[in-house]
Amino acid sequence: MTTTRTMPDPAAVGERAAEILNLIKGDEAYGRLSDSSKKYVDCWATFTGYPVVAQWNLEADKAALFDEAMKALSLKAAVHGLTGDESTAELLISLPVDEMTHAVLAQHNLVTALQVRIGVLLPHMTDLEEFGWEPGDYTSQCYAAAGWGNMPDRYWIGTVEARRRLAFLDQAYANVGIKGLGREHDFTFADTGGTLVAV
C-alpha cells in the first residue's frame, strides 16, 4: 500500500548518505562485512532478485552489487536519521540491490556492532518494502545528490523492465518444474538411480 509522505530534500539525504557511507567504509569491520556479505549469496539467493540481472554471474557481479547495496542502505539510513521514521526510510530500490541488502543485513553481529560504533541505524523492514523503483525517482535523486555518479543500470533495473524479466524467468523455471518463481515445485527427490526426474 502506497501512502503519501513528506520526504526530506534529496540534497540533504544525499549529503548525509555520503557521510554515512564513508563512516561505514572507515569502520574496522568493513572488510569483513564486505567479504561475509559476498559469501552469503552462496547460502541464500532468491529466484527473483539477482536473476533479473542479464547474464548474472555471482563471482563477476557480487563486488559491484555489494557497493550498490551499501549505497542504498546509506540512503535509507540518511532518510531515517532525518525523519526518525522507518516507513519513510524504506526507499524504493531495485530487486538485485534489495537482495544484496538482505545479504548484508544477514551479517547480524557485524552490522549491529557497526551501527553502535558509527551511531547510525541501517533500517530495513520487509513488511514496509514496496516493489516500484524507477529511474529518476526520489531514490535516484538522493543517489545523485550523494555524488555517486550514475546508478549502474545493470543492477538498478526499473520495475517495468524487472516485471518483464520476471515473467521470462517464471517461464524458464516452469520449463524445469519450478513454479511460482521458486515458491513451489513437485520434486520428490526420490532415488532414481542417478536419473533426474521432475516428479
Q: How confident is the model at residue 197 (pLDDT cuts 50, 70, 90)?
A: low
In DSSP notation, 37-56 reads: HHHHTTT---SSSGGGSTT-
pLDDT band with cut points at 50, 70 and 90 for residue 23:
very high
Residues 44-57 have a mean pLDDT of 84
Task: Report pLDDT for 185.
Answer: 86
Regarding pTM above 0.95, the answer is: no
pLDDT band at 41 (very low <50, low <70, confident <90, very high): low
Tell me, yes or no, whether 84 lies in a domain.
yes
Q: Are 166 and 48 in contact (CB under 8 A)?
A: yes
**pLDDT of amino acid 181:** 81
Looking up cell 544484496 gives 100
Is residue 1 situated within a structural domain? no
Paired residues of 185 in beta bridges: 178
pLDDT of 121 reads: 96
Count of CB atoms situated within 10 Å of the CB of 62: 20
Domain membership flag for residue 56: yes
Residue 187 lies in a domain: no
- Residue 163's pLDDT band (boundaries 50, 70, 90)? very high
Residue 119 pLDDT greater than 60, yes or no:
yes
Q: What percent of the chain has pLDDT over 90?
A: 68
Mean pLDDT for 32-36 is 90
Contact between 127 and 173 (Cβ < 8 Å) = no
- In this structure, are residues 128 and 86 in contact, taking their beta carbons and an 8 Å threshold? yes
131-156 pLDDT, tens digit each: 889 999 999 999 999 999 999 999 99
Domain count, the chain: 1
Report DSSP letters for 60-125, one per residue.
HHHHHHHHHHHHHHHHHHHHHHHH--HHHH-----HHHHHHHHHHHT-HHHHHHHHHHHT------
What is the predicted pLDDT for the residue at 1? 40
Query: Which pLDDT band holds residue 44 (cuts at 50, 70, 90)?
Result: low
Residue 199 has pLDDT above 60, yes or no: no
Q: For residue 137, give the DSSP letter.
A: S
28 touches 156 (CB < 8 A): no
Torsion angles phi and psi, residue 130, rounded to 5:
-130, 145
Q: What are phi and psi of 185, to 5 degrees?
A: -155, 170
> What distances in angstroms separate CA 174 from CA 71, 165, 168, 169, one per listed residue?
34, 14, 10, 8
Q: Is residue 79 part of a domain?
A: yes
Residue 139's pLDDT is: 97
Range of the domain at 28: 10-182
The pLDDT value given to residue 58: 86
64 within a domain of the structure (yes/no): yes
Residue 179 bridge partners (DSSP): 184
- pLDDT at residue 96 above 90? yes
Question: Is residue 134 in some structural domain?
Answer: yes
Q: What is the mean pLDDT of the chain?
A: 90
For residue 116, being part of any structural domain is answered with yes
